[in-house]
Amino acid sequence: MERQRGLIWLLRFAFVLVLLGLWWLAALAVGRNLVPTPLATMVAGIDLLSRPDIYEAIGNSMSVYLGGMLIATAIGLPMGLLAGGIPLLGRTLDPFFNALMATPRVAFIPLIIVLLGLGFQAKIAIVTLGAVMPILINTYAGVRNGDAELVEMARSAGATRMQVFTRILLPGAAPFVMVGLRLGATIGLINTVVAELYTAVQGLGGLLATYGNTFRMAPYFVVVLVLSLLGVAITEVLRLFERRLDRWRQG
């Protein structure tokens, strides 16, 4: 196990080296004014990280992101559990779930701006709108696709509907819920940047707009890398939560 883990880290390191090599070749082929070299990006990153602007931008973006994700989870999880646990409700709402899932959330941004303005509330609404449907749909699918034979055995043994739901359907839906949370977290981070570009230009999205409009590509790439690292950190937190959830399921 330890040897396999070491091999994985070695392969990851090799992959990073390949990416850096391709990045360097792209900078030489396209031109450093459009694609900065890794060295130029590193120098810009050291300069940017020595100033408070980037930390203030991260704080603004994460407050919007976490607020939107909390609301999306508070809406998506109960709605998915109810729709999955009550078949009649699920069959009634299923086409509406699919319609909302297929509708580009960007189409709602002008309406959100008209209703909520360009401030903090509008940004949170945009993040919530992007993250809620993956959480809801996957939770609903997880509960609905519970083990039918196990449910039938529990009912024949005298288990109540609530016991079937809490002890069979809910643990069985946990992997689906985690997939929904991962998808929602990813889309939520993307929508955070979109919200900051469409509304008051702040946070990491504001820095992207500022550096992109002035063709300062090295700090622009630094902000992109910061967003990537935030995405990795969020994914790792969810994986830690998933491991704890697996222990609960086994228990």
60 and 9, same domain (yes or no): no
Instruction: Per-residue pLDDT tens, the chain, 251 aa: give them.
Output: 667 777 788 888 888 889 888 888 888 888 767 888 888 888 988 888 888 888 988 999 899 999 999 999 999 988 888 888 788 888 888 888 888 888 777 788 888 888 888 788 888 999 999 899 999 999 888 888 766 666 666 666 666 666 666 677 777 777 888 888 998 999 999 889 888 888 767 788 888 888 888 888 888 998 989 999 998 898 888 888 877 777 666 65
97 and 135, same domain (yes or no): yes
Which tens digits make up the pLDDT trace of 48-69?
888 888 898 899 989 999 999 9
Which tens digits make up the pLDDT trace of 2-16?
677 777 888 888 888
99 and 15, same domain (yes or no): no
Expressed as residue numbers, the domain containing 23 is: 1-33
What's the CA gap between 38 and 25, in Å, rounded? 10
CATH of the domain at 245: 1.10.3720.10
Q: Encoding tokens for residue 205?
A: 């999205």
The share of the chain scoring above pLDDT 70, in percent, equals: 87
pTM given for the model: 0.84
Alpha-helix runs per DSSP H in the chain: 2-30, 38-49, 52-85, 87-102, 109-116, 120-144, 148-156, 161-164, 170-198, 203-213, 217-250
- Which residues, including other chains, have CB under 8 Å from residue 211's CB and lie 6 or more apart? 217, 219, 220, 223
Domain count, the chain: 2
What's the CA gap between 9 and 14, in Å, rounded? 9
